[in-house]
């Protein structure tokens, strides 16, 4: 059985994961309508991954005797200056999610909920990978300095390595 403080922190994370999915869908739409097919595929795949994270939190809360709450989601931004801004905002958002996951770790330790602490470690590792992936993309964009985005857009999907077949 989940302690209320642990349950509350996990339910808050459900909302953050849902927002993350919507944010990346919005970025995918912006990229798609601005001729960045590769970036849009990357973002659609990212949105799907965030949805799966949300579902993992929901199932865990429910399986541990809590009650997952489906939140209202605020609308994410819909317009971006350029691809660089899209990925800088992605990195900023991933760092926000990392901080939130770390807060959950702290709650688990405070409450001596070692089961949830063990379970949340998957997300701790996932966030390390997410941030590293986006930082690598930003590094490549800086090398391009706004030039030759056609090749970057063509190659970005391969940087994920896990784009669902439905998005190819």
DSSP output for 82-148: -HHHHHHHHHHHHHHHHHHHHHHHHHHHHTT-HHHHHHHHHHHHHHHHHHHHHHHHHHHHHHHTT--
Query: In this predicted model, which residue has the larger pLDDT, 164 or 39?
Result: 39
Q: Which residues are annotated binding-site positions?
A: 17, 50, 53, 94, 127
Return the DSSP state at 156. H
The pLDDT value given to residue 160: 66
Q: Looking at per-residue confidence, does 148 or 14 come out higher? A: 14
Reported confidence tier of residue 166, pLDDT bands at 50, 70, 90: very low
Which tens digit of pLDDT belongs to each residue from 7-49?
Answer: 999 999 999 999 999 999 999 999 999 999 999 999 999 999 9
Q: Give 51's Cβ-side CA count (13 Å radius).
A: 9
- Rounded to whole angstroms, the Cα distance separating 78 from 142 reads 23
Three-class secondary structure of residue 3 per DSSP: coil
Q: Which helix (H) or strand (E) holds 13?
A: helix 4-33
Q: What is the pLDDT of residue 159?
A: 74
Set out the domains of the chain in order of their start, with CATH numbers: 4-72+79-159 (1.20.1260.10)
Residue 130 has pLDDT above 60, yes or no: yes
Task: Please tell me the pTM assigned to this model.
Answer: 0.91
| Per-residue pLDDT tens over the stretch 65-122 | 999 999 899 999 999 999 999 999 999 999 999 999 999 999 999 999 999 999 999 9
Distance CA 46, CA 40 (A): 10
Annotated binding site for Fe cation: 17, 50, 53, 94, 127
DSSP element (H, E) containing 25: helix 4-33
Q: What is the DSSP string of 29-64?
A: HHHHHTT-HHHHHHHHHHHHHHHHHHHHHHHHHHHT
Evaluate whether 140 touches 152 at the Cβ level (below 8 Å): yes
Residues in Cβ contact with 11 at an 8 Å cutoff, skipping those fewer than 6 apart: 61, 66, 67, 68, 69
């Amino acid at each position: 059985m989940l302690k209320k403080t642990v349950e509350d922190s996990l339910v808050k994370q459900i909302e953050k994961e849902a927002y993350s999915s919507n944010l990346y869908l919005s970025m995918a739409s912006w990229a798609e309508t601005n001729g960045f097919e590769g970036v849009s595929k990357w973002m659609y795949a990212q949105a799907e991954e965030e949805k799966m994270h949300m579902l993992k939190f929901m199932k865990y809360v429910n399986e541990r005797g809590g009650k997952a709450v489906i939140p209202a989601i605020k609308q994410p931004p819909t317009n971006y200056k350029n691809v660089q801004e899209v990925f800088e905002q992605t990195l900023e958002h991933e760092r926000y999610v990392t901080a939130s996951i770390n807060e959950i770790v702290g709650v688990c330790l405070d409450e001596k909920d070692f089961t949830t602490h063990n379970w949340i470690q998957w997300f701790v590792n996932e966030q390390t990978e997410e941030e590293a992936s986006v930082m690598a993309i930003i590094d490549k964009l800086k090398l391009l300095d706004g030039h030759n985005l056609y090749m970057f857009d063509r190659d970005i999907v391969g940087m994920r390595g896990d784009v669902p077949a439905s998005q190819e």
